[in-house]
Chains A and B, each alone.
Chain A
Amino acid sequence: MSGVEGYIYPNEVTLYWSVLIVLYPYITGLVAGAFILASLERVFRVEAVKPTYRLALLTALAFLLVAPLPLILHLGHPFRSPEMYFTPHDTSAMAMFGYVYMWYLMAVLVFEIWLDYRREIVLLSQTSKGLLRLIYKVMTLGSSNISERALHIDDKVGWIVTLVGIPSAFLLHGYVGFIFGSLKANPWWSSPLMPVIFIFSAMVSGIAAVMLLYMATTKLRGQKIDMRCVDTVAMYMFYIFIIDFSLEMLDLVHRVYEADESFRTLNFLVHTKLYFSQIVVQICLGTIVPLVLLFLTQVVKLEEMARKRIYILSGSLALIGVLAMRWNVVIGGQLFSKSFLGYTSYKMALVTREGLLVAVGLTVLPLLFLWALVKLLPPWPDKSLHEAATGD
């Protein structure tokens, strides 16, 4: 059998969870991380990061809208997926998906965005033309009340929603970690640390994504990047990265120290098939290099240009590193046999439903959604709207 070494159970030759299942935790991780960044300003009053607030929310929404797609494309029977809503099995972590997703989408993200943008939505419903006018009108839910009192209520309710949104974000991504971490059959996955590591690496990736998007969109708009904002975002990213790295190292050290029956086969796996993606990409390039770079910015006073370059580099490397982590968990967990006596290989297709092209498409699609959302709900103060409001 090609690609098989040693002895594996006969049904283990094929990998059942493909690159799409690598993407799903990556995407929900970005959602959770972006939301946590937004909550820094809203709940914890870190005023410095305010310029990223609305962009973070829209980023979270753009990625959340794409999140179910890799799952649906992976299913053998996608049209049966409503069964998860109608007969969810209460002992299955995966059954939570439908409800947690719907809760987070509607009761947290959409609700919070709506509350924050309601004033603009009402104004735009009055000033736009054609189809856009209709869209905004629908979004007002028929209420054009943007009195000070109404907006004040929105603000208070929005605060509560964000507060509730924080554990919701942890649940949205943490349950994915639990899906892997609760499987006693797979020693690479089975660990109480799994949901925690997923959440912290998600925060790193989400914050990095919003930071890069903020810098890119500000540049594209020909505006000046608010360095106080970016410095603060990078600082939070650095500290959360340290926690994430510590957790991953704890997992590693624990495995090496205890050296239980799975250790030999997993150790061999990491040194051979997973060497490039785990040691080189995830740990060295994706974690240690960005940590060192960010550490530099925290202890040495660097010029604005240098800091910008470091943030861009470490943010990009962090994003790649977290993707590699998802790959190493999902694919890595299926490369070794549960007999601990052999290995198989992942043959990623190119143009099939679960192939590389679809995976790339699914990573690009959220950016297209984000572009549309930014057009529909501009995160930046719009001068003309301001005039329209005060002119009344």
Chain B
Amino acid sequence: MSGLKDAGHLFRFAGLFVLAFLVFLVVRSFVVPKSFGEYGHYRGAAIGEIASRPIKFAGHQTCETCHTDIADTKTKGAHAHVNCEACHGALAAHADDPMTVTPVKPDTAVLCARCHTASAAKPVGFPQVDPADHSGGVPCETCHNPHSPIIGSDSGASAPKGGAK
């Protein structure tokens, strides 16, 4: 058909498209990560990568494996549900290498005040005091065992052995 002869340039233009599309498909097969689409429209390997991030908090069960006596004292007291690292900070490094990495003892003046400074915003039943009125600057652990803080509650101590060393 003579029509086709005069439309030859159109086929060339279309040909460019087809060529570009084929190149695109080839490149795509190389570039798209292999695990893409494994579980959904995302790179499946990402799940494993994210799950392999380093751990900084060991978790109280690990602490309690070695520090059984502290754990015993704590379960009977008011801080039974306060986990070790809530006060002592992230200690997975210590759990990994207990002899070399030694935790720093928390400063009770800052630590205890953070939770127990009285504020009308806090829940009413929560134990809270005005630190200045309450102790006049005396460190908290002078009277309170941090692991069983209610005075007289842990067996045989009103002035405990300074809590954890």
Name A140's closest neighbour in chain B (CB-CB): B9
The segment from A9-17, A145-153, A325-333 found at the interface with B is A145-153
The proximity string for B residues 6-28 relative to A, scoring 1 for CB distances below 8 Å and 0 otherwise, is 11111011001100000010001
Distance from B111 Cβ to chain A, minimum over Cβ atoms (Å)? 24
The proximity string for A residues 303-325 relative to B, scoring 1 for CB distances below 8 Å and 0 otherwise, is 00000000000000000000000
Task: Decide if A159 is an interface residue (CB 8 Å cutoff).
Answer: no
Distance from A121 Cβ to chain B, minimum over Cβ atoms (Å)? 10
Evaluate contact between B17 and A153: CB separation under 8 angstroms: no
Task: Decide if B54 is an interface residue (CB 8 Å cutoff).
Answer: no
Task: Decide if B32 is an interface residue (CB 8 Å cutoff).
Answer: yes
Name B36's closest neighbour in chain A (CB-CB): A87
Evaluate contact between A82 and B17: CB separation under 8 angstroms: no
Task: Specify the main secondary structure of chain B where it touches its partner.
Answer: helix
Evaluate contact between B24 and A141: CB separation under 8 angstroms: no
Interchain CB contact (< 8 A) of B41 among A89, A118, A149: A89
Name A111's closest neighbour in chain B (CB-CB): B13
For A141, what are the chain B residues with a Cβ–Cβ distance below 8 Å?
Answer: 9, 12-13, 16
For B8, what are the chain A residues with a Cβ–Cβ distance below 8 Å?
Answer: 143, 145
Give the total of A residues in contact with B, Cβ under 8 Å. Answer: 21
CB within 8 Å: A-B pair count: 40
Interchain CB contact (< 8 A) of B3 among A85, A87, A153: A153
Task: Decide if A142 is an interface residue (CB 8 Å cutoff).
Answer: yes
Evaluate contact between A106 and B17: CB separation under 8 angstroms: yes
CA distance A111 to B12 in the complex (A): 12
Say yes or no: A147-B6 contact (C-beta < 8 A), given A89-B41, A106-B17.
Answer: yes
For A157, what are the chain B residues with a Cβ–Cβ distance below 8 Å?
Answer: 10
Say yes or no: A150-B32 contact (C-beta < 8 A), given A87-B41, A141-B16.
Answer: no
Evaluate contact between B9 and A143: CB separation under 8 angstroms: yes
Distance from B55 Cβ to chain A, minimum over Cβ atoms (Å)? 25
Evaluate contact between A86 and B10: CB separation under 8 angstroms: no
Interchain CB contact (< 8 A) of A150 among B9, B12, B13, B16: B9
For B28, what are the chain A residues with a Cβ–Cβ distance below 8 Å?
Answer: 85-86
CA distance A142 to B9 in the complex (A): 8
Task: Decide if A117 is an interface residue (CB 8 Å cutoff).
Answer: no
Evaluate contact between B12 and A142: CB separation under 8 angstroms: yes
Q: Name the interface residues of B86-109: CB closer than 8 Å to any CB of A.
A: none
Evaluate contact between B9 and A118: CB separation under 8 angstroms: yes
Say yes or no: A145-B9 contact (C-beta < 8 A), given A86-B31, A89-B41.
Answer: yes
Name B9's closest neighbour in chain A (CB-CB): A143
Q: Name the interface residues of A248-287: CB closer than 8 Å to any CB of B.
A: none
For B12, what are the chain A residues with a Cβ–Cβ distance below 8 Å?
Answer: 141-143
CA distance A89 to B17 in the complex (A): 23
CA distance A142 to B11 in the complex (A): 11
For A86, what are the chain B residues with a Cβ–Cβ distance below 8 Å?
Answer: 28, 31-32
Evaluate contact between B10 and A153: CB separation under 8 angstroms: yes
For B7, what are the chain A residues with a Cβ–Cβ distance below 8 Å?
Answer: 150, 153
CA distance A44 to B13 in the complex (A): 26
The proximity string for A residues 129-146 relative to B, scoring 1 for CB distances below 8 Å and 0 otherwise, is 000000000001111010
With most chain B CB atoms within 10 A of its CB, the pick from A89, A114, A150 is: A150
Say yes or no: A85-B32 contact (C-beta < 8 A), given A141-B9, A153-B6, A153-B10.
Answer: no
CA distance A100 to B24 in the complex (A): 16
CA distance A87 to B34 in the complex (A): 12
For A90, what are the chain B residues with a Cβ–Cβ distance below 8 Å?
Answer: 41
Task: Decide if B68 is an interface residue (CB 8 Å cutoff).
Answer: no
Distance from B63 Cβ to chain A, minimum over Cβ atoms (Å)? 31
Task: Decide if B52 is an interface residue (CB 8 Å cutoff).
Answer: no
Name 21 A/B residue pairs within 8 A (Cβ), A-sorted.
A85-B24, A85-B28, A86-B31, A89-B41, A106-B17, A107-B17, A114-B13, A118-B9, A140-B9, A141-B9, A141-B13, A141-B16, A145-B6, A145-B8, A145-B9, A149-B2, A150-B6, A150-B7, A153-B6, A153-B7, A153-B10
B-side interface residues toward A, CB under 8 Å? Answer: 2-3, 6-10, 12-13, 16-17, 24, 28, 31-32, 36, 41
The 7 A-B pairs with the shortest beta carbon distances in the complex, nearest first, are A143-B9, A150-B6, A141-B12, A149-B6, A86-B28, A86-B32, A153-B7
A-side interface residues toward B, CB under 8 Å? Answer: 82, 85-87, 89-90, 106-107, 111, 114, 118, 140-143, 145, 147, 149-150, 153, 157
Beyond A82-B31, A87-B36, A107-B17, list 18 extra A-B contacts (CB 8 Å): A85-B24, A86-B28, A89-B41, A106-B17, A114-B13, A141-B9, A141-B13, A143-B9, A145-B8, A145-B9, A147-B6, A149-B2, A150-B7, A150-B9, A153-B3, A153-B6, A153-B7, A153-B10
